[in-house]
Amino acid sequence: MDELESIIEKYTDGYIQEHIYSIEKLNIFAAIFYKDVAEIYDCITRVRNVELNPSGYSLDDAPIMGLLIKVWKLLKEIVAYYEKDNAEIISILERPLVESAITASYLIKSDSQVVEDYRKISYKDRLRILRELKQGDVFFESKAGKRLLKSVQEKLELEGFDENSFQEQKKNRWKLQGKNFFEIFKEVEDEKLYTSTFGMMSESIHASWNDSLDWCLYRNEDNTFDPFPFYHPPDIRFLTTTLIFCNRPYKLWLNHIGITDKYLMDILQWVENINSILYVHFDKLYGNEHG
């Protein structure tokens, strides 16, 4: 609790008011705030109900915890690139960040069978490794091949799975509950947000033409193109919407593991409140400065 208190105590009304009436100060404030939010998420993943989980999390909860940790690790990296004025790399990191957060929320709202399905679909390529071994692939005679094979076998043994444990996953074409990500997204969030957030974020992963237009090319007046070898600076819109997706699973997680301390939930609500203030004031300032 002391760690969390030391994070938020500097956000006095005076400190906030000082930083929300100019674009320059707002962006400085945002970088500090989002870095602190990542630390808050980090702290929450270290909170445990020792009565329910005295020594650690079961295979039903550990996958969710893994996703929550991935969220704050990616958020810390995004903030680092925010401070480096590198919007292009942020656009690449945001996609797995949002996918991790949405999937975590979906799993928390689901039962243990869905969580088991989530674990099983991750073995698609690992089962291919076992098939290739049986087909006599010489790679598995090398030290690297043997290490890889041992890793796969140890994970299957941990979970009590074998090569015949994945019939349902094969039937569903290795999709969680047979659903594509859009179907999962709209069960957790407003489906109208999908296209302008996760949908467009995917372009950075799949190397689309529009992604190159946005980040890597300069358009000349005659509609020819030259290289754009620099990075574009970000603004807070890269994180204000994304943070909505991130905050939700941490709230759900506290309820899921039986943490009844109102202080922690209030901090997560505080994160949403400050994030909303940032967005509103940026929108006002951006409109004024850009007509």
Domain count within the chain: 2
- Which tens digits make up the pLDDT trace of 8-57? 999 999 999 999 999 889 989 999 999 999 999 999 999 999 988 889 99
Domain with 136, as residue range(s), is: 124-165
One domain for residues 14 and 90: yes
Question: How crowded is the C-beta side of 244, counted as CA atoms within 13 Å?
Answer: 15
- Which tens digits make up the pLDDT trace of 116-159? 999 999 999 999 988 888 888 888 889 998 999 999 999 999 99
One domain for residues 28 and 88: yes
One domain for residues 89 and 205: yes
One domain for residues 89 and 11: yes
Average pLDDT, the chain: 92
One domain for residues 129 and 253: no
Burial label, 153 (beta-carbon count in 10 A; 0-12, 13-18, 19+): middle
Percent of the chain exceeding pLDDT 90 equals: 72
One domain for residues 96 and 141: no
d(CA 160, CA 116) in angstroms, rounded, equals 11
Per-residue pLDDT at 291: 38
Per-residue pLDDT at 288: 57
| Residue 171, domain member (yes or no) | no
Hey, what amino acid is at 268? Answer: L
- The answer to pTM > 0.75 is yes
- Which tens digits make up the pLDDT trace of 71-102? 999 999 999 999 999 999 998 999 999 999 99
| Residue 172, domain member (yes or no) | no
One domain for residues 155 and 227: no
